[in-house]
Structure 1
């Protein structure tokens, strides 16, 4: 079974979760674990130092990447989940993309494979809320960026189907100039940020377009349908908070991992 965690709908849910518990609150403390692979371009101690004492003003996302907008001097934490990265709030049951893994380490605190924990100030003297980022396979990346939207990885991403889907008149030329299989194009993050394997399959299934058809051979009607179905699939997955059990029965997704 392929694992598409870290795709647009998963990251959108994580960003919403962090926003709900952290916006307009102070990061009182940051616990980190040394990991020279997951922490990219910054050591774990510097990461903790730059975040401590700053207020979370906002939580933003583009494609598979999300970041915290903090007040004061210093850089912003930017997270890419990779295949197995996830956010876990202490005291809350984590949401799982397809099925809960065996012995996933979520019964303990901090959970297994945690890379950092943010201690978010509680209201009116309440205990702090603790937010853990964990990544069992170490394929995610944690960075600090001064201007996340102007720096890699965000600056290298294409349109976000939820936040910045181009209108059809702009989308159509983007398709027609690409001589490559349409599924491969949809998976290219510099083209459409956040679209992963199952989303691409679902979009093409509803569009009735073969994954190997060359993008520049699609008719105007096919491109219009493709445009519509990208929005439909991505918006539905996000609106349902990436809860696969709530996806429509008519979706290919509901049948791809049966058994």
Structure 2
């Protein structure tokens, strides 16, 4: 799912292409799931003829500031949402569908904004919002920062990081795994699966470690690395090719492969293990991230995140959706095994282990 840096990039693309331009026309397609609290026709009518003053972002949500007294578009990319300027490629998160950028309107389009040129004789700019899996959300809000979904979100690591004392107090109140807490959008808005894993890796904290059991030193590391990871990713415009070579992100996508690409400072090959924490697949470097008090199970606590959150109203937007679909679908070319007798049926714990190598310097 697009996280804080990818959403910042989407807002920046629209700003660079259309700031100061008037919306002359809006093309839409009907979608009663993606359009929330409004219809596609109402959306088009309310924003046509208005000028884009600027764009903004909070957490995983971004918005278009328009002139006039009407409501403004508040957008969430969901899991597979993307922005595409006509003539360029769609900015999908990681995997891109096979699609010719010259095909227009693009497949899975929800709306296309037509912006008038700034100068007479210039070209109209067209920007599309698309989503293959219909997990994105399109809203119109009157007071976008003070009403849902933004009003229900926690601190933004770029825009509103709290003082360390307040951060520590919030962490020590929770008895859930720290990975689950980081994914809770009412705690840290914009932090998703890969950012949480990156932060925990650089902080040498195991994702299953109970939040309230963390030492003040570990909490300070988490605080510092939440800012570090988010700001660094934003500075390179969410281009993963520009991420530091010692980041876990560079090595987390080859689950099940034996390629070695990551080496610890000691020269030892790093072992990456995949576990499920807070409903998400989590990458753990076993030599670095030790679970303290492993004999005690972390207290289970319900986490309000953007998967099924009544607080944020960003429903069906969980990072684990893809993982769950893979579990339900049998692999190609393999026949589904018949179910075992009820008496002998057991729950199987799934885990994976991969060794990878490269250069690593833990930030502190």
TM-score, L = length of structure 2: 0.68
Deviation per residue, 1:59-117 (Å, 9 max, x gap) = 1110000111111121101101100011000112334432433x245441111000000
RMSD over aligned CA atoms reads 1.2
Q: Deviations over 1:134-187 (max 9, x none)?
A: 000000000001011111100110000111111212211111111110000000
* Equivalent residue in structure 2 for 1:111, among 106, 109, 118: 106
Q: Is the 8 A contact 2:81 2:92 kept in 1?
A: no
Q: Pairwise mapping of residues 57-76 of structure 1 onto structure 2 (< 5 A)?
A: 57-76=53-72
> More helix by proportion, 1 or 2?
1
1:252 to 238, 248, 251: 248
| Correspondence for 1:121 among 106, 116, 123 | 116
SS of residue matched to 2:202:
helix
3-state SS of paired residue (1:143): strand
2:179 corresponds to: 183
CA positional deviation for 1:52? 0.4
Query: Structure 2 matches for 1:109-258, cutoff 5 A?
Result: 109-125=104-120, 126-258=122-254
> 1 CA distance for matches of 2:28 and 2:227?
38
Give the Cα separation in 2 of the matches to 1:233 and 1:256: 15
Q: Distance in 2 between matches of 1:244 and 1:96?
A: 13
SS at structure 1 position matched to 2:181: helix
Please give the secondary structure, in 1, of the residue aligned with 2:251.
helix
Q: Which residue of 2 aligns with 1:24?
A: 20
1:253 is displaced (CA, Å) by 0.8
Q: Distance in 1 between matches of 2:133 and 2:101?
A: 15
For the residues of structure 1 that align with 2:95 and 2:133, how far apart are their CA atoms? 17
- Cα deviations by residue, 1:182-201 (Å, 9 ceiling, x for unpaired): 00000000000010001100
Contact 1:32 1:115 in 2 (8 A): yes
Q: Secondary structure at the match of 1:229?
A: helix
Structure of higher RCO (CA pairs closer than 8 Å, 6+ residues apart):
1
* TM norm structure 1: 0.95
The residue aligned with 1:52 is 48
Distance in structure 1 (CA, Å) of the matches to 2:100 and 2:62: 24
Count of residues in Structure 1 that have an aligned counterpart in Structure 2: 254
Runs of 4 or more above 6 Å deviation = none
Distance between the aligned counterparts of 1:54 and 1:96, measured in 2? 27
Tell whether the 8 Å contact from 2:36 to 2:139 is kept in structure 1 after alignment: yes
Change (3 A) 1:106 1:137: farther
Match of 1:60, SS state, is strand
